[in-house]
Chain A
């Protein structure tokens, strides 16, 4: 997927200017947190579960090689073929060559953010393959030629009317109605059923990899993942290294956290473990299965100060709880992963040069960290990225100078106090009629959208000193 994160501010302006979409996002920002909170409360000790999973994740990441080796052994024993891909290109070419080995023409895909990251669809389509997304949201945006705006609900930005129109334009409907939501779902189901049956290759992602038995776990609500995994003769699981967990029970702990955090459900419709190809006494299942483990900078991240972002379980809760994500929507972020987790991941997986606005799209309000099921200190990681920007001089020189001058004054209190004692009464005088200033030199960033409240007059320190009460120095 082409990255346009360097246009974050323009994207954001455009998003804010569309009141319909903005209103739908506001509703998302209102209801998803309520659903998550209710689900967490019903569970009981959700906090303990978070802490537990965090420990498991940290332990697993510290022993990544061990658990990956174990996973590979077990997965091979189950009859899978296991591939490692260092780069997105390697993943894409591995998938393509598997498809070509089987003379495949049609590929049915379940929802997978990893394949968004590698732009797999483009790669396969350029080679002449038909790729169909089978998750309803993914199907909608594929038809619309768009990209996901949310890691859990990729088409959340589209209204019902837009989706209806899209189907009217794309599908040969004949007599079929499209009035109700159920009609639209039935329409998509009818089309997709055919695709599952015709596809020669199914591609799915994974929410967890279980080292102890070599299986992959997938959580869905639509069941499309299971159809992709079981109907076509060849299955390819595209996933990344850091999905690994030691035991089945760890995957289940993750699932409990994931589902409640993502949608507020106590349980998704389907939670599946895939072990490998059809065995002799199985009635169905794929004949050949591949698991591709993508690195794409994960091992670098693991060795960096940002390793905690690898604990992310892709629940999307930080998006729903982030007022900036809710304000501007996922497309503004300009790549695959939006919101707080995306603002950390995008610079790490692409480059800070291409995405240096993203770590600044944060007020450090801390709401994401408060609810992140993986207990990732997202605002701290974003601040660390801003520090890197500052060190590598990627932020605007004017900002850097301004901050430097400000910090210099802070270290010269006498001068600071003399200057502010003089400046504040001037500003107070300028704003005395209105109580606030509509414009202020060097402060367009503030006064473009807000008045600047006038100061009261003399500074506190000056007034207090006049009353002879300031403590010079103790001792």
Chain B
């Protein structure tokens, strides 16, 4: 992805960035989308939110219904290919575009999928490697924070240090690391409803590690994982606030955490 590194003369120019909101942020937690817009603008980007965007098609793809996933992927490619960059506040959806779309096609569509993949970024990686956020003028966040690495972000998009680095820079917090941080939380898209008992056992392990870390705030970069963890934490009555990392990076969040009652 070296050729994507901004060229010297471009560093001053405004980058034309399309935000792919993701279906989960769109439906469940719009504040993640707004936080992403704010962060990208703060990083000097001109942000567009292409209309007619819905979802990247992962549910069908991962369930083996490739025939249903292909037209969804084609629609996403057409919608987003006019922009310089596509930024996504989710490692999993970014992984879908970057790693899996090209594998769906041959010929011309494959070329188009590869071209899109080459300019698609996970949000925290984009904000550290392409359009760095300026230093903040805010007060540091006063909370014990831990971070859950979503598997696709970690393994498909090489996201690991970037959110930690941003949290330190922007909010002055050092992440209290989870034990076994590289183990899946059990979300796995449709897996979590196909095999709920196993899925919840995996969530419990993650939540136990989160509690043991001493953190009060559990952050992550993927709403799928976060809904799973928050949903299970609420069911168990755990005192753990769960949020997307973008919400915290964009400013001290005022609304309730995921699944929390309104204050």
Contact = CB atoms under 8 A, between A and B. Distances in A.
Contact of A30 (B33, B61, B180, B203): B180
Contacts of B109: none
A410 B256 CA distance: 29
B155 A459 contact: no
Contacts of A323: 183-184, 186, 202, 205
B152 to A, nearest CB: 8
A400 interface: yes
A370 B191 contact: no
A464 B52 CA distance: 12
B51 A465 contact: yes
Interface string B28-56: 11110110000000000000111111110
A161 interface: no
Contacts of B186: 323, 363
Given A407-B65, A449-B232, A424 B48 contact: no
Interface stretch (A125-133, A213-221, A259-267, A431-439): A431-439
Nearest to B70: A407
Most buried by B among A30, A327, A413, A454: A327
B26 interface: yes
Given A362-B188, A469-B49, A472-B51, A410 B72 contact: yes
Contact of A435 (B30, B194, B261): B261
A460 B30 contact: yes
Contacts of B116: none
A16 B201 CA distance: 8
A386 B235 contact: no
Nearest to A433: B261
Contacts of A463: 30, 34
Contacts of B30: 456-460, 463-464
A414 B51 CA distance: 9
Interface string B41-81: 00000001111111101011111111011011001000000
Interface residues of B, number: 76
Nearest to B56: A410
Interface stretch (A88-96, A341-349, A387-395): A387-395
B195 A360 contact: yes
A323 B255 CA distance: 33
B51 A366 contact: no
A443 B180 CA distance: 30
Contact of B231 (A22, A391, A450): A450
A433 B234 CA distance: 13
B151 A395 contact: no
Contacts of B199: 363, 449
Contacts of A39: none
A389 B256 CA distance: 41
A407 B72 contact: yes
Interface residues of A, number: 78
B197 to A, nearest CB: 6
A403 B26 contact: no
Contacts of B255: 456
A366 B92 CA distance: 12
B196 interface: yes
B66 A387 contact: yes
Contacts of B234: 434-436, 450-451, 453
Interface string A297-316: 00000000000000000000
A361 interface: yes
B193 to A, nearest CB: 3
Contacts of A464: 30, 33-34, 49
Interface in A1-44: 9, 12-13, 16, 22, 26, 29-30
26 contacts: A9-B195, A12-B197, A30-B180, A323-B184, A360-B195, A363-B189, A366-B156, A390-B64, A390-B66, A403-B59, A403-B63, A407-B60, A407-B72, A410-B57, A410-B72, A411-B75, A414-B52, A417-B52, A420-B26, A424-B27, A435-B262, A449-B197, A453-B231, A455-B27, A460-B21, A460-B26
Given A363-B186, A464-B34, 14 more contacts: A9-B195, A26-B205, A362-B188, A363-B188, A406-B60, A413-B53, A414-B52, A416-B54, A448-B196, A451-B235, A453-B28, A455-B27, A464-B30, A471-B49
Interface of A: 9, 12-13, 16, 22, 26, 29-30, 323-324, 327-328, 360-367, 370, 383, 385-391, 395, 399-400, 403-404, 406-407, 409-411, 413-414, 416-417, 420, 424, 432-436, 438, 443, 445-446, 448-461, 463-465, 469-475
